[in-house]
Amino acid sequence: MIVELSQVRDLMLVNQEHPISWNPQSLVLVGGRVLMDERAASALNKLMEELDGWRFITAVSGWRSQEEQHEIYIRSLWENGEEFTKQFVARPGHSEHQTGLAIDLGLTQPDIDFLRPYFPYEGICQTFRERAAAYGFIERYPAGKEAVTGIAHEPWHFRYVGVPHAEIIVEHGWTLEEYHKHQKPFSLEVPT
């Protein structure tokens, strides 16, 4: 099977043990508010079009530069303390947001928490979740998997991994870390 480099990059594992290994090449605006990788943005916009999602869901945070991630991390340490920050904010260089493949979404309301937007398991948000894998997205930090991901449950954070990978991950109830372990014999490392 021939795998395109873009597909390998879509599956890149970024966490506390695996720093970001490349920068996105083509960023586009989604939801009128944030930037994302072009392929991820296209898939997200198709899903939102199917759901008429942008009327009810707000793009809170997408691609972040190293500098922006550093500022968010330092600000959270100052405002929320180290324990909270370790749970909800990745260190600069270790944030999926820096890939352009991750997005935080929130239910549209007057006040939206930037670090923990409200994205409930009901209504349009749940419908989004149920259709996300068909468009290549996974809920990246599910409840009960904190020990695997190293990040607290984040029902608002979605990661583009592409199809069929998202469908396989959701079908098995895996995290991206678990998918990587399963795929290890096939090596999902990004060539340099």
Question: What residues contact 6, with CB distance under 8 A and at least 6 apart?
Answer: 39
Could you tell me which of 148, 157, 154, 152 has the C-alpha nearest to residue 181?
148
Instruction: Report the run of H or E that residue 141 belongs to, with start and end.
Output: strand 137-141
Cα angle 72-135-45, degrees, rounded to a multiple of 5? 65
**What is residue 135's three-state secondary structure?**
helix
**Of 17, 38, 139, 154, which is the active-site residue?**
154
Query: Sign of dihedral through CA atoms 36, 42, 46, 49?
Result: positive
With contact defined as beta carbons under 8 Å apart, do 36 and 62 qualify? Answer: yes
> CA nearest 73: which of 55, 57, 47, 91?
91
Please state whether the peptide bond connecting residue 92 to the residue before it is cis, i.e. omega within 30 degrees of 0. no
Tokens of 125: 């948000």
Q: Based on the residue annotation, tell me whether 38 is a catalytic residue of this protein.
A: no
Q: List the catalytic residues.
A: 154
